Structure 1
Amino acid sequence: MSLYRRLASQSSVIFAARLFGAGIVFVVQALIARTWGADILGEYLVIIATVNLVAVTMPLGFQTIGGYFAAEYRAHGNRRQLVAFLARAYGHIALVFAVLLVAGQPLLSLFGLGQGTVARHFLPVMLLAFGTTMVFVNGAVLVGMKRPFAGFFADTLFRPMIVIAGFAAAAAIADADAAFTALLWWVACGYVAICLIHFGFVVATVLAVADEGTASTREPRRWWRFALPWVVIGLATDFFFDIDLLLLAALLSREELAIFGVCTRVFSLVSFGVAAVYAVTMPEMFESEARQDRAGFNRKVSEANLVAGGLSVFLFVVMLIAGPFALMLFGPAFSAGAVPLAILCLALVVRSLLGPASLVLSIHDRPYASLPAVGLGVVTLVGGNFLLVPAFGLMGAALAALFAISLWSGALWWTALKTAKVDVSIFQRWRRTIERATPAE
């Protein structure tokens, strides 16, 4: 099967599963807003943002490089080195989780958050963070081992099922605050069970890898060299809007925060379709680079860009048409998010057209080269929020995000072009097509 067809088939199935799961979560969030009020929905979104940010830091960056090293060790038939990597990753999770259980509440009180939403629901939040970070690591490893369905489905399908089951159980409780607490406990315990089953798939997959190599004591240095920059890259890219929601909590009302939070969740859904394309392609890119097949590497980047760019444009058009109707499910007030949602989806188009620069820089052994561009994007987001949100509200928040994503995507493209000598944008494909079509003089 050609790469085009495999990208189209596998990424379509993964995205369809994500769409189904996100539809469930979308309905649950709409029910929370209508049943318990927009304020509780705002609290729920703040808790999910906090869970995601805590979860992404617990493995100390190893979830961001799990796919990369799993693909490498699988290609080389080095099961022992893969097991050593996984032992380190899961060990980080266990250690940080234990520290947070002991020191988390005192730290929240130290920063004046002892009576906040996270502190009042501390234990279910910590369990949610544990389950989420385990699925992050499990999923990354399974994708790197060419099992993308097993890698993605725990988060895309089974977590939404846990969420809707939790809401159905909690909805029977009359008091809104007690019902919300029950929902968090249901989801937390259910997701921990899911992550442990998911871990069983990782164990079975690792045992099937050939054991032809040895574990080198020098590899941990290489892991850290990739993990340290990638934990920053992962926070600023995959969890960009979780950071943004926490920044906006002091600038928007609870209702506006809930509206923007729903817009960002829809954006995360559509952006997942693009991410799935690159996740399916990543092991192929690595194998081409390992064989020093530069032509093959460039071709696979180009094909992935074409699929991702076309998908992002299609999803932008879909959101222009369907976005307002989807937002109305949450109530009349949420229609104010229609234009901000379209602006966020436009940012996805920009990001897709400029290509997977951070991934390519890491494959070319230059992970730290991404950090200046990512830092520029975060600074632009913070500055844009404080300049635009007080004057323009939701529109200001969306424009700040568009400027930040566009700026860092452009900076990453330029960095990859100058340091790795690779044009990761879709434009290099068009340029090569024009060059081939132009007759030589």
Structure 2
Amino acid sequence: MTERRRLTGLAGRFLSLSGGRVIGAGAVFLANLLIARTWSDETLGMFSVLMAISAILIQICSGGYHSIATVYTARYRANKQWGLLNGFIRQASKVRLIGTVLAAFISLVYLLWGMNAELTPTILSALMIAASVYIGTTLYFCSGVLVGYEQQERALLPETIIRPLFFLVSLGAFAALGLALSASLIFLLFTAINGLACLTIWHFFTRARPETRDDTSDKDQKSRWNKAATPWIITSLVWDFFVELHILAAGMIVAPAQIAILHVCFRFRILAGFGMRTIYMLMLPDVYAAHARKEPVGHKIRRMCLVGTAYALCVMAGFYVLGERMLSLFGPQFAQALDILLIMSGAILVRGLLGPVPALLSMYDQHLPQSIVMSACLVASLTAIPFAYDAMGIAGIAWCYVISNAVGTAILWLWLTCVVMRRPVDGQEPA
């Protein structure tokens, strides 16, 4: 009966969190549709490039700390190590400040020499991206800490509800006024609204932190955090931002109208992926806490994979039945991209079958293997894009995305199940 109540409660929280994600994702899709219909599909394509630059820089300039925030928060919380948690938070703040300066330089170089687009003034665009990066790194780190505290609703509210709805309403107001907006101005608007979301989550974050502000971390502890976080820069680029990397790569060889098609298909795939993320967000903190207490976690992982696989099959069936109709909302040229959408959705099925492998490896303090494997997959995929595009058009880019994800996930899954999880519990590093 206890297990049944637990599953019922989990299902209820999943529906509420997924409902919030669907509302937010729906607002994002409507915003993309509004940009394409009101201003142009070229404007949408250039805006997606700016968003991709910002998203990638957030991963690089955060130092990987927001990717390990949940596992370390759950670990220190389970063992009541509040001084170490405070030290972890302070170290992440220092990395974010350094990363912001780095983001301004990288974006300036890319905009000046990497693109032949009318993004003027370039310096202003670089500063906008840097501001977006600092806001984004703060938002996602605080969200990861809140998930570690099992406050998933507060962790998701600013990102999934506040930001997309305010962005959609603001765009609608500009469209109603008949104002001409460039991609840079739309990105500036998004950055301002993202700042509002960041202030909201910061409020939740400060309330969740322990009252004590003692910092018991030392130089060795900070070195351990840096060693754990750094490989996640590459891993997160591949797992969470492989979409943006493909959009940037496509921007070098594909016309803006085709980039818009890829952008829309990827957005639908990401929308479907929100449900999978919600499942893992709800179930992983319990796995992390059990592992920190040296309890068996194999049955918890298998249950998580079973739930994820069932969800992935439902997603693929839904895309097959409704995908063409959903794509046609953006215009007749988008309706012909159903095959691309179905190809991309294969990545969701792989994640459902094999589970959140990178997060589980991180739980076992295995950070470097996944970085090496996914780096190799990233290089192979980006190298193959020009050849795949010549052979199959933009569908080739979708295949590069799916195959590289599947191969990397399978290798890491074998490493997790055949090597890492077979080690005795007593041999683990104390949490």
Q: Does 1:325 align with 2:325?
A: yes
Residues 81, 58 of structure 1: alpha-carbon distance in 2 compared, 3 angstrom cutoff = same
Matches within 5 A, 1:29-48: 29-48=32-51
Aligned length: 418
Look up the equivalent residue of 1:364 and give its one-letter code: Y
Matches within 5 A, 1:105-144: 106-108=108-110, 111-113=113-115, 117=119, 119=122, 121-144=125-148
Look up the equivalent residue of 2:125 and give its one-letter code: H
Q: Does 1:411 align with 2:411?
A: yes
Residues 256, 213 of structure 1: alpha-carbon distance in 2 compared, 3 angstrom cutoff = closer
Residue number in structure 2 paired with 1:147? 151
Look up the equivalent residue of 1:159 and give its one-letter code: R
Look up the equivalent residue of 1:261 and give its one-letter code: H
User: What's the offset of the Cα at 1:115?
Assistant: 5.4
User: What's the offset of the Cα at 1:104?
Assistant: 4.9
Residues 368, 331 of structure 1: alpha-carbon distance in 2 compared, 3 angstrom cutoff = same
User: What's the offset of the Cα at 1:95?
Assistant: 2.4
User: What's the offset of the Cα at 1:218?
Assistant: 2.5
**Contact conserved, 1:53 with 1:239, CA < 8 A, in 2?**
yes
Look up the equivalent residue of 1:241 and give its one-letter code: V
Residue number in structure 2 paired with 1:311? 311
User: What's the offset of the Cα at 1:96?
Assistant: 2.1
What is the distance in 1 between the residues matched to 2:10 and 2:377? Answer: 29
| Alignment equivalent of 2:175, drawn from 171, 174, 181 | 171
User: What's the offset of the Cα at 1:239?
Assistant: 0.6
Residues 181, 402 of structure 1: alpha-carbon distance in 2 compared, 3 angstrom cutoff = closer
Residue number in structure 2 paired with 1:400? 400
User: What's the offset of the Cα at 1:98?
Assistant: 3.5
**Contact conserved, 1:61 with 1:228, CA < 8 A, in 2?**
yes
Q: Does 1:14 align with 2:21?
A: no
Residues 99, 50 of structure 1: alpha-carbon distance in 2 compared, 3 angstrom cutoff = closer
Deviations 1:277-297 (A, max 9, x none): 112222211222122222xx0
| Alignment equivalent of 1:272, drawn from 271, 274, 285 | 274
What is the distance in 2 between the residues matched to 1:201 and 1:59? Answer: 20
Deviations 1:285-313 (A, max 9, x none): 1222122222xx01110111111111111
Deviations 1:59-111 (A, max 9, x none): 2111110111111111121222211111111222122223444x356523663
Residue number in structure 2 paired with 1:50? 53
**Contact conserved, 2:78 with 2:293, CA < 8 A, in 1?**
no
Three-state SS of the structure 2 residue aligned to 1:207 is coil
Residue number in structure 1 paired with 2:365? 365
**Contact conserved, 1:70 with 1:82, CA < 8 A, in 2?**
yes
Residues 81, 38 of structure 1: alpha-carbon distance in 2 compared, 3 angstrom cutoff = same
Q: Which piece of structure 1 moves more, 374-383 or 213-222?
A: 213-222
Three-state SS of the structure 2 residue aligned to 1:244 is helix
Residues 106, 350 of structure 1: alpha-carbon distance in 2 compared, 3 angstrom cutoff = closer
Residue number in structure 1 paired with 2:237? 235
Matches within 5 A, 1:192-203: 192-203=195-206
Q: TM-score, normalised by structure 2?
A: 0.90
Residue number in structure 2 paired with 1:439? none
Look up the equivalent residue of 1:289 and give its one-letter code: H
Look up the equivalent residue of 2:18 and give its one-letter code: F
Residue number in structure 2 paired with 1:159? 163
Fraction of identical pairs, as percent: 23
User: What's the offset of the Cα at 1:421?
Assistant: 3.2
Look up the equivalent residue of 1:7 and give its one-letter code: L
What is the distance in 2 between the residues matched to 1:212 and 1:281? Answer: 30
Residues 14, 411 of structure 1: alpha-carbon distance in 2 compared, 3 angstrom cutoff = same
What is the distance in 2 between the residues matched to 1:110 and 1:29? Answer: 26
What is the distance in 1 between the residues matched to 2:14 and 2:302? Answer: 16
What is the distance in 2 between the residues matched to 1:313 and 1:303? Answer: 16
Residue number in structure 2 paired with 1:375? 375
Q: Which piece of structure 1 moves more, 154-163 or 121-130?
A: 121-130
**Contact conserved, 1:373 with 1:408, CA < 8 A, in 2?**
yes
What is the distance in 2 between the residues matched to 1:121 and 1:291? Answer: 48
**Contact conserved, 2:158 with 2:200, CA < 8 A, in 1?**
no
Residues 385, 104 of structure 1: alpha-carbon distance in 2 compared, 3 angstrom cutoff = closer
Residues 361, 100 of structure 1: alpha-carbon distance in 2 compared, 3 angstrom cutoff = closer
Residue number in structure 1 paired with 2:429? none
Residue number in structure 2 paired with 1:428? none
Structure 2: gaps spanning 5 or more residues: 424-431
Q: Does 1:93 align with 2:93?
A: no
What is the distance in 2 between the residues matched to 1:395 and 1:115? Answer: 25
Three-state SS of the structure 2 residue aligned to 1:176 is coil
Structure 1 consecutive aligned stretches of length 4 or more whose deviation exceeds 6 Å: 210-213
Cα RMSD of the aligned pairs, angstroms, is: 2.3
Look up the equivalent residue of 2:195 and give its one-letter code: V
Residue number in structure 1 paired with 2:71? 68
User: What's the offset of the Cα at 1:53?
Assistant: 0.7
Residue number in structure 2 paired with 1:219? 221
Residue number in structure 1 paired with 2:350? 350
Residues 195, 165 of structure 1: alpha-carbon distance in 2 compared, 3 angstrom cutoff = same
**Contact conserved, 1:32 with 1:40, CA < 8 A, in 2?**
yes
Residues 149, 109 of structure 1: alpha-carbon distance in 2 compared, 3 angstrom cutoff = closer
Q: TM-score, normalised by structure 1?
A: 0.88
